Amino acid sequence: MPLTKIKEFLDEHNIKYTIIKHSAAYTAQEIAASAHISGKELAKTVMIKIEGKIAMAVLPASFKISFDQLKSALNVEKVRLAYEQEFSDKFPDCEVGAMPPFGNLYGMEVYVAESLADDEEIAFNACYHTELIKMKYKDFENLVKPKRLIFSTLTKV
């Protein structure tokens, strides 16, 4: 059912995409490995709270948010990870942690890391921990209209 909402949205805008099914995985790095996608190409959606307002931060799976950079880029005092209970009701059609980066479909701002915008294609969770959608980054940007910012750093292994 939830995937239907995203598929209809993409189809309505004549966007080419691929659905990738993979074994259940919960961390971005596990998903990338399970789906045989590079950690830089897999976009993870991180729910954040900016001065009391819920938003999405979208960045490569192999990166992490630099909250200092994010605060500076947004010119705000407070930015933190959102607690599950603060946003789970906004995604009744998705498993927690598998939200697609389409904040526009859920009435929230989307901030995308400049490091992700370099990719020709991106893949992201499609409401389940067993499905991804892969599409051109340019199409994602045209549909979602995220604000591009510099707020991510490569995760040290």
Q: pLDDT (tens digit, 9 = 90+) per residue, 69-119? A: 999 999 999 999 999 999 989 988 888 888 999 999 989 999 999 989 888
Neighbours of 18 (CB within 10 A): 10
User: Is the pLDDT score of 1 beyond 50?
Assistant: no
The enclosing H or E element of 2 equals: helix 2-12
Number of domains in the chain: 1
Helix H or strand E encompassing 132: strand 131-136
Structural domain boundaries enclosing 92: 2-154
The pTM assigned to this predicted structure is 0.91
Which position has the token pair 């199409």? 139
> What is the helix (H) or strand (E) element at residue 124, kind and residue range?
strand 121-125
Residue 113 is which amino acid?
A
The percent of residues in the chain predicted with pLDDT above 70, rounded, is 97
Per-residue pLDDT, averaged over 17-39, amounts to 83
94: CATH = 3.90.960.10
Mean pLDDT value of segment 56-68: 93
Supply the pLDDT for residue 112: 97
Measuring CA to CA, which residue among 99, 96, 97, 82 is closest to residue 5? 99
What's the pLDDT at 88?
Answer: 87
Amino acid identity for residue 33 in this structure: A
The per-residue pLDDT of the chain, averaged, comes to 90
The pLDDT tens digits for 116-145 are 988 899 999 988 889 999 999 999 999 999
Q: Are 88 and 96 in contact (CB under 8 A)?
A: yes
